[in-house]
Amino acid sequence: MSSDRIEGNLKELKDRALKKWDKLTCDDLDEVKDNRKELVAKIQQRYDKTKLEAETEVNDFEKGH
């Protein structure tokens, strides 16, 4: 897979994440990069969710729901 294609896929994922979690910013996603635990923590913080709720949302996002 070319680096352009990988970069395009990452941008698409980032765009999907920003649509799903509109209280997150591009900077937030840049901070968490590929750290799932940090993404869960950001979602908890911004949306006042429990850890389990945030983890469930991230699981669903990963599955494409």
The domain locations on the chain are 3-63
Q: What are the tokens at 28?
A: 């937030």
The CATH H-level superfamily of 3-63 is YjbJ (1.10.1470.10)
Given a cut of 60, whether residue 1 has pLDDT beyond it is no
Res. 53 pLDDT band, cuts 50 70 90: very high
Angstrom distance (rounded) from CA 12 to CA 6? 10
pLDDT tens digits, one per residue of 13-38: 899 999 999 999 999 999 998 899 99
CB-based contacts of 29, cutoff 8 Å, min separation 6: 14, 17, 18, 39
